[in-house]
Amino acid sequence: MTATREPLTRADLTPLARAALNRTPTAVTRILGGSKKGVYRLTFDDGPVPTAVAYVWSPEEDLWDAGPGDPRDPFSHASGLTLFTAAADRLAAAGVRAPRLLHADPTHTHLPADAALVEDLPGGTLEDLLDGDPAAVPEALERMAALLATLHSCTGPRFGKVALVDNGGSSYGSSCEQLVVARALSDLDELPARDPRAAAAHPQLAAEIRALAARVRPRTGPATLIHGELGPDHVRVTPDGDLALIDIEGLMYFDVEWEHVFLQLRFGHHYAALRPEGLDEDRLRLYRLASHLSLVAGPLRLLDVGAFHDPEFMRGIAEHHLGEALSLLKTAS
């Protein structure tokens, strides 16, 4: 169980910076928010690049204490340099911007963990812009809709993590919806011991998951390229207004409805500008309930580990989504 995360220092990260840029950072600042890797901004006094960002995938930086994820499970722990580089390559081929990779160290030469140095994208997140600059919101949402159209026009031969599928591998499971149902039932089974409301509603929630799944018609054809956890906090806005995706390790081929349920949850009233025609309403209903249950079980698991910097924030997420799941149950009845 991880009690604290000691931040890396300038001395720790200097070898990586020198390997990537032949420069020594004058300052290192940990960027809070991530739970699966360490993220640090490196500042330089000289040269054309004033800052860069280091990613460090070490057990000490991973709050979940989950260990390596099974690549054949699309929902397994999305962390690691291999997933990041595969996702970066796929996004570049798709024409979707992400921080440019400056140096990758899979051999643990400079740190005792997988690490990378990437382009720093100043300008804040799309979440910052939506919350603080009303005049810029319409254009930013237009750009976001265009980014989604580009991303979701790309497909793969099978569902699964990009790192797996693009190397010829296949995922567990027979379909996207089958995997979502199995995950939702597993998340649901964790909850009765944690909350009496979940315990009381467990039979009804399990029945509702199965009823919603029964309405989903089989889908043939390729799977869609999706980010997997695409909130406005995972989109950087550059000074020229361009958008770039971050936290891309979960990139996978899957049902586009899985992405749109998360987009609606995170973008709120702004989501209407991002919704395309032709989404499968039955899949949306199933995936919405599954997402709410995941956003109860996941934060509670993270709180069990006990190292997240803002536990009340995580408790709030779990409480909100339990309420949403129970509300959906009332609507269905």
Which of the four pLDDT bands, split at 50, 70 and 90, describes residue 148? Answer: very high
Q: Domain 126-332: which topology?
A: Aminoglycoside 3'-phosphotransferase; Chain: A, domain 2 (3.90.1200)
Q: Are 28 and 56 in contact (CB under 8 A)?
A: no
Return d(Cα 98, Cα 87) in angstroms, integer: 9
Taking 60 as the threshold, does the pLDDT of residue 79 lie above it? Answer: yes
Which of the four pLDDT bands, split at 50, 70 and 90, describes residue 1? Answer: very low
Give yes or no on whether 10-119 and 126-332 have one common fold: no
**212 or 303, which is more confident:** 212
Question: What are the tens digits of pLDDT across the range 256-309?
Answer: 999 999 999 999 999 999 999 999 999 999 999 999 999 999 999 888 876 677
CB atoms within 10 A of CB 215: 11
Domain 10-119, classified CATH 3.40.190, yes or no? no
Taking 60 as the threshold, does the pLDDT of residue 3 lie above it? Answer: no
Q: Is 102 helix (H, G, I), strand (E, B) or coil?
A: strand
Question: What are the tens digits of pLDDT across the range 318-332?
Answer: 999 999 999 998 787
- The rounded mean pLDDT for the chain is 93
Question: What are the tens digits of pLDDT across the range 159-182?
Answer: 999 999 999 999 999 999 999 999
Mean pLDDT of 130-145: 96
Taking 60 as the threshold, does the pLDDT of residue 2 lie above it? Answer: no
Return d(Cα 83, Cα 64) in angstroms, integer: 17
pLDDT of residue 66: 64
Question: What are the tens digits of pLDDT across the range 42-59?
Answer: 999 977 789 999 999 998
Which of the four pLDDT bands, split at 50, 70 and 90, describes residue 34? Answer: confident
Tokens standing for residue 324? 């949403």
Taking 90 as the threshold, does the pLDDT of residue 111 lie above it? Answer: yes
CA quadruple 124, 129, 133, 139: dihedral, nearest 10? 120
**Contacts of residue 166, Cβ cutoff 8 Å, sequence gap at least 6:** 86, 90, 156
H or E, element range at 207: helix 196-215
Can you give the residue ranges of every domain in the chain? 10-119, 126-332
Of 88, 22, 10, the C-alpha closest to 54 is 10
Of 256, 287, 17, the C-alpha closest to 151 is 256
